[in-house]
A and B are shown apart, each in its own frame.
Chain A
Amino acid sequence: MSKDRKSDNPYRHIAPRGFWRSAVSEPGLFGLSELWTSCWQLPADAMFATFGSCFAQHISRALISRKMNWLNAEPAPGRTPPELAQKYNYGVFSARTGNIYTAAQLLIWARLASGQIGPESVEYWTDDEGLVHDLLRPKIEPTGFASDKEAMASVASTARAFARCITETDVFVFTLGLTEGWINRKTGQSYSICPGTGVGTFDPEAHVFHNYTYPEIMRDLQAALDIMWDMNPDLRILLTVSPVPLVATASGDHVLVATQYSKSVLRAVAGDMARQHGAVDYFPSYEIIAAPPTRAAFFEPNMRGIARDGVDLVMRHFFAGLDLSGAARGRDNSTEARQQAEEEMAREDLVCEEMILEKFNAS
């Protein structure tokens, strides 16, 4: 065997981005490139929807700030002042779902959106003041709903908006946040936060901690995606994993260990799901923030919050990797109803002004 033949091996044919020295050590954190390249050619006016854990909000904001088509399927009513929209959690995600931390909760929303289950299937809780909270979105209203009927109508409204996010978008961005959750052993309801931590009453007989395993998350995510693809076979799913560590763990492990476990499982699920489906891709927001090159520089002093610079870097890689070279399809996110209403008001105003003027003529 010649010396040349011996040295020929697969690594000789790997691009520099495949080697730590040339891809990470030498360029440094801000020189990292080709971290992610979208496997899809999207239309120039591609429509995005964003959901998931709190880190997904950054993707919503970045899409909006770049004036890209981000579907806000459940916006605040017209002329809502920004502080009021914020108070009622409008404009955070593409529908008013609140944080969707687990694949199990995504599955619930997919079932609600498809009509497989109705809003009556969600658990509602009435507080001491008679206000009602839905335990799928416990913090969505600052004080709660006036009645069960109103709470249920609101869940149904969000489910319809969520359905639009499936049927009217090109890319559904979903940020996986947690493996840990709470479920009701009697009803099977999955909670986004532990009952009793602000909303709901903790019942040790009913409410049990559950740390979703890789197979369970794969199963729930696959089931959710199957429903979504039934509704829109062309829908592309872009998965990300939130780099934000757990606030607390009920697993019994140290929270640092529990965080690493949780993120590792989610990262593996996202990667494997992307490998299994051409319509699923994985964007490495987790790695950009949490991998060694950053030396944790993008975490706030509490080592949990993500600094603005880190979010900006994530989004730079996101937009650098997007391929929006496809032909635009003339998507317009503006609302015709708004224009019609404006015109109607202007006409009505004119009528009112004329009535008042006419009054003076008469006198």
Chain B
Amino acid sequence: MPAKPELLILGDSHSIALKAGADMLGIRAEALHFSGSRWHEVKFTYGANGFEPRGTKAGVNQMRALRERLGVEDVFGMGVPVISTMAFHLGRLVPPFGWEGHQIQDEDAPFIDTGLVASRAFALDYVQHYRLRHIRVAKRLARSTDLTIVAPPPAFDRPNYDSMRAIISGLLTQAGVTVYDPREDLADTDGMFTPDMLEADGVHATAETGAKIIEAMRKRGLLRL
């Protein structure tokens, strides 16, 4: 049986950089990733054996492999700190919201004078509809382990991404889940990650950035490895 991992990583494609970063830092980490679309579709559950992917072949296979490797059923409840990117999956949530040209009027943003405006109350209800189960599961996970959810890298300034990001962070925090926003420590003066911190797709963080995120979390005392 391999040595007990020091860190568990759970999430969508954004969690890949975190795992790569952990590897770069020499942290013994195990990971379970499946795509944001499966997360969005709630292809997971929280049962007697803790968190489990369900209805996603990639997720189910990885879970089985992890259980075999680690020799425990409740992988994410084995007492190892967990960092996760769950609940955001903005790539599946924000584009449909904007299909008809809706924007959320944030208080500190310029007055919206084109297209349609959706209220923040509506946006909150919309997010809650699609993320209620994610937040419930995150809350349960947080009760059983040291969980920190990492917000996605601030990669671009497109309508509604920041608003939705803030709404989800707020809902997680209200539910008692610790959220770390890498923007606070690593973003440029414009609040965004610089292009060299991102993969060629302009969306996902690089392994080096993943390592920086973990380091920043350590400095803030969010990860005690």
User: Is the Cβ of B91 less than 8 Å from the Cβ of A349?
Assistant: yes
Residues of chain A within 8 A of B100, CB atoms compared? 75-78, 335, 337-338
Residues of B close to A150: CB separation below 8 A: 105, 107, 117, 119-120
Alpha-carbon separation in the docked complex, A142 to B124 (Å): 13
B residues within 8 A CB of A337?
A: 98-101
A349 contact from B35, B97, B115, Cβ within 8 A: B35
Given contacts A157-B116, A157-B117, 6 further A-B contacts (CB under 8 A): A88-B125, A153-B111, A154-B117, A160-B115, A351-B201, A352-B12
Tell me, yes or no, whether A147 is within 8 Å of chain B by CB. yes
Number of A-B residue pairs with CB-CB distance less than 8 Å in the complex they form: 120
A87 to B35, CA, bound (A): 32
- Whether A348 is near chain B, meaning CB under 8 Å from some CB there, is yes
Within the complex, the shortest CB–CB distance from B200 to chain A, in Å, comes to 10
Q: A80: shortest Cβ distance to chain B, in Å?
A: 6
B-chain residues with CB within 8 Å of residue A357 when the two chains form the complex: 58
A84 touches B129 (CB 8 A): yes
Which residues of chain B from 76 to 109 have a CB within 8 Å of any chain A CB? 91-92, 95-102, 105, 107
Among residues 88 to 141 in chain A, which have CB atoms less than 8 Å away from a CB atom of chain B? Answer: 88, 141
Q: Interface centre among B102, B122, B201, by most A CB within 10 Å?
A: B122
Say what secondary structure dominates the interface of chain A: helix
Contacts of A161 in B (CB 8 A): 116
Q: Which 9 A-B pairs have the closest CB atoms?
A: A78-B99, A78-B96, A157-B117, A352-B13, A153-B105, A79-B96, A338-B99, A341-B95, A77-B102
Cβ contact within 8 Å between B101 and A356: no
**A143 and B121 contact, CB distance less than 8 A:** yes
Asked if A353 lies at the interface with its beta carbon under 8 angstroms from chain B, I say yes
Most chain A beta carbons < 10 A, residue from B37, B113, B119: B119
Knowing A146-B107, A341-B98, the reply to whether A74 touches B119 (Cβ < 8 A) is: no
Chain B residue at minimum C-beta to C-beta distance from A345: B95
How many angstroms between the C-alpha atoms of A78 and B93 in the bound complex?
10
8 Å CB contact of A77 from B113, B121, B126: B126
Cα-based distance from A78 to B92 in the complex (angstroms) = 11
A149 at the interface (CB under 8 A from B): yes
Cβ A352 vs Cβ B91 within 8 A: yes
**Is A341's CB under 8 angstroms from B99's CB?**
yes
Q: Are A77 and B118 touching (Cβ within 8 A)?
A: yes
In the assembled complex, the Cα of A46 lies from the Cα of B97 at a distance in Å of 28
Task: Closest B residue to A87 by CB, please name it.
Answer: B125
- Asked if B166 is at the interface of the complex by the 8 Å CB criterion, the answer is no
CB within 8 Å for A141 and B121 given contacts A150-B105, A337-B99:
yes
Determine whether the beta carbon of A149 is less than 8 Å from that of B111.
yes
Minimum distance in angstroms from B10 CB to a CB of chain A: 13
Q: Closest residue to B89 on the A side, CB-wise?
A: A352
The contact sample of 26 A-B pairs, CB cut-off 8 A, is A78-B95, A78-B96, A78-B97, A78-B100, A79-B97, A79-B99, A84-B122, A87-B125, A88-B119, A146-B120, A146-B121, A149-B105, A153-B105, A153-B117, A157-B116, A157-B117, A161-B116, A338-B100, A341-B96, A344-B95, A345-B92, A345-B95, A351-B13, A352-B37, A355-B16, A356-B33
